[in-house]
Amino acid sequence: MIQDLRDYIAALEKEGELHRVTTEVDWNLELCHVSKVNEEQKGPALLYENVKDYDIPVFTSAFTTPKRLAICLEQDTSLSMSKLSKKWMELTTKKMIPPEIVSHPKVMENVITGDDVNVEMFPAPWFYPEDGGRFIGTAVYLVTKDPETGWTNLGTYRMQILGKNVVGVQIIKGKHADFMLKQYEAMGKKMPAAAVIGCDPVLFLCSSTLVSAQTDEYDVAGSLRQAPVPVFESDLTGLKLPATAEVILEGYIDPKVLMDEGPFGEYTGYYSGNKGKEWPKPALQIERILHRNDPILWSTTVGKPINDIHMIQSLNRTATLWYDLETMRVPGIESVYIPPESCGRFWGIVSVRQKYPGHSNQVGNAVIASTTGHYGMKGVITVDHDIDADDWDRIMWALSTRFDPKRSAQIIDRGRSTPLDPGLPIEARDVTSRIILDACTPFEWQNKPNEIFMDRGVLTKVSERWADYGLGETSPVADMIDRLTKPESK
């Protein structure tokens, strides 16, 4: 079972999904640039063992293929993204498994306090040319606690090095740590907080998932692993922290102190905000650094799709959207997909088995009204049940052949947006419009166009004779026969 980052790296290596970079690589731009080029060609995860000026390795590109996400989730590695998301949904909507307190946490092997605290001891990369500095927190999450109810929240918010014992934390309005920070502010207190870098990778996946308020992401991670997350209670902040983390930066966020941070090459493919015109961010004052012996720094390149962030958002938003539609009791949902190419959030596709006129429109409208779809989504495409939500070739075909712009498109004027959307003017990013594209043949049509199908019997024969044609030893027919023949011919 994968319990920490090292187990995950070992599992990747066993599957031939890891490459160790042994030559010296500069943390200043070079490391990110190597990773991004490797990601563009769907290369393996990378472990940089020789980072300039440091003897701490850096791990990147953890999740840039569906196979690696499947390895992390300990699932069948042939599953498509949409099917993996379905697994995620099934596991996380079962019984939650709370964390378990353990003694002698490995992350306490090294405890650095007082004047010795210096986050530059870690090889935090400088990612893109116009970034405002080095970002230590990309594959990171912030642990905080509700001062009234004791709920522990894990949220991924990026972190920039602003001083030897201070990192800026981009907690966007409405995020759970933002709620909590406001509670501490009202109490006139500082908020205890810890940044965790390097851990069982499902914790990182959960910390960037839309989980309801008052639900601990630790419990969700437990449900994914079907085992409790090992944690310890910090004697400094009282927070429950993961025992097998690589690195923890622990301290306080003073709600009254905001600092300039950024810009950063964001997951939209644009720098966030204007240089020098970023909104000021909360800052984590680090009182101590905890780290395991021989720590590994986990990073992710963010930037243009596709890299870790887009894959993670695609995985978990597809799962939560699918669950939203089920709990809204929208019938006929066959598959759901939020593609990583849409930055893992801006477009959603749903395959629906229509049962009544207007059904596919109901689905489109339900998506943008759902918990997952109401925030930042700009477009929904609905397709009939014969097309999988992640079969882009057939989706484009449906948009060409089952679609009439006037009839099939609806524009909705006002929806919740994200301040990072470069498609909206910088000064007006609160509200976005949305479009629903219905690429389904209308249910009520009596006279439907006659679609071409292949003959099942002949295809079976073709399959048997495949080798005779000299096209390869193994017939590909089995994988595509249902897609090519009339559904009722099975």
Query: Using the 8-state DSSP alphabet, how is residue 122 labeled?
Result: S
Percent composition of the chain: helix, strand, coil (DSSP 3-state, to 5) = 30, 25, 45
C-alpha–C-alpha distance, residues 223 and 163, integer Å: 38
Shortest distance, position 141 Cβ to ligand FMN, whole Å = 8
In the complex, residue closest to Mn ion by CB: 176
The residue range among 20-28, 85-93, 153-161, 444-452 that interacts with Mn ion, by the rule CB under 5 A, is 153-161
Strands (DSSP E) found in 87-220: 100-101, 110-113, 135-137, 140-145, 152-155, 159-163, 166-169, 191-197
Interface region with ligand FMN, contact rule CB under 6 A, candidates 38-46, 94-102, 206-214, 381-389: 206-214
- Taking CB under 6 A as the criterion, which residues in 174-203 touch ligand FMN? 175-177
Least distance in Å: CB of 317 to ligand FMN?
A: 10
Quote the tokens at residue 123: 């090889």
Report the residue number, 206 or 387, with the smaller CB distance to Mn ion. Answer: 206
C-alpha 129 chain-centroid distance? 24
Stretch near ligand FMN under the rule CB under 6 A, chosen from 60-68, 100-108, 208-216, 353-361: 208-216
Residue 223 binds what, of ligand FMN, Mn ion, none (CB under 5 to 8 Å, by partner type)? none
Kindly indicate which of the ranges 110-118, 170-178, 231-239, 446-454 contains the residues binding ligand FMN, using the contact rule CB under 6 A: 170-178
CB of 263 to ligand FMN, least distance (A): 12
- Smallest gap from Cβ 270 to Mn ion, in A, equals 26
Binding of residue 156 to ligand FMN (CB under 6 A)? yes
Measured from the CB of residue 49, what is the shortest distance to Mn ion in angstroms? 34
Residue with smaller CB distance to ligand FMN, 58 or 395: 58
Tell me which residue has its CB nearest to ligand FMN.
Answer: 155
Q: Rounded to the nearest whole angstrom, what is the least distance from the CB of residue 412 to ligand FMN in the complex?
A: 22
- Cα separation, 63 vs 363, whole angstroms: 30
CB of 294 to ligand FMN, least distance (A): 24
Q: Under a CB-based contact definition with an 8 Å cutoff, are residues 272 and 158 in contact?
A: no
| 361 versus 370: smaller Cβ distance to Mn ion | 370
Part in contact with Mn ion (CB under 5 A); list of ranges 81-89, 106-114, 172-180, 429-437: 172-180
Whether the Cβ atoms of residue 292 and residue 23 lie closer than 8 Å to each other: no
Q: Distance from CA of residue 130 to its chain's centroid? A: 24
Is 170 one of the binding residues for ligand FMN (CB under 6 A)?
Answer: yes
Give the separation between CA 269 and CA 323, rounded to whole angstroms: 29
Give yes or no for a contact between 146 and 153, defined as CB atoms under 8 angstroms apart.
yes
Q: Which is nearer to Mn ion, 153 or 165 (CB)?
A: 153
Cα–Cα distances in angstroms (integers) from residue 115 to residues 236, 252, 276, in the given order? 16, 16, 30
Measure Cα distances from 15 to 9, 67, 299 in Å. Answer: 10, 10, 21
Cα–Cα nearest to 325, from 280, 287, 367: 367
Closer to ligand FMN by Cβ: residue 244 or 272:
272
| Binding-site string for Mn ion from residue 198 to residue 227, where x marks contact by CB under 5 A and - marks none | -------------x----------------
Residue burial 166-180, b: 16+ Cβ < 10 Å; e: rest: bbbbbbeeebbbeeb
Q: With binding defined as CB under 5 A, does residue 153 bind Mn ion?
A: yes
155 binds ligand FMN (CB under 6 A): yes
**Which H or E run contains 415?**
strand 409-416
175 binds, among Mn ion, ligand FMN, none (CB under 5 to 8 A by kind): ligand FMN
DSSP readout, 59-114?
EE-TTSSHHHHHHHTT--TT--HHHHHHHHHHHHTS-----EE-SS-GGGGEEEEG
Pick between residue 223 and residue 360 the one whose CB is nearest to Mn ion.
Answer: 223
Q: What type of residue is 485?
A: T
**Any contact of residue 176 with Mn ion (CB under 5 A)?**
yes
Task: State yes or no: residue 309 binds ligand FMN (CB under 6 A).
Answer: yes
The length of the chain is 490
Nearer to ligand FMN by Cβ, of 257 and 484: the residue is 257
Q: How far apart are CA 306 and CA 35, in angstroms?
A: 12
User: Could you say which of Mn ion, ligand FMN, none residue 170 binds, taking C-beta under 5 to 8 angstroms by partner kind?
Assistant: ligand FMN
Kindly tell me which of 426 and 484 has the beta carbon lying closer to ligand FMN: 426
Rounded to an integer, what distance in angstroms lies between the CA atom of residue 2 and that of residue 230?
A: 12
Binding-site partner at residue 382 among ligand FMN, Mn ion, none, CB < 5 to 8 Å by type: none
State the residues that interact with Mn ion by CB under 5 A.
153, 176, 211
State the residues that interact with ligand FMN by CB under 6 A.
138, 153, 155-158, 170-172, 175-177, 208-210, 300, 302, 309, 312
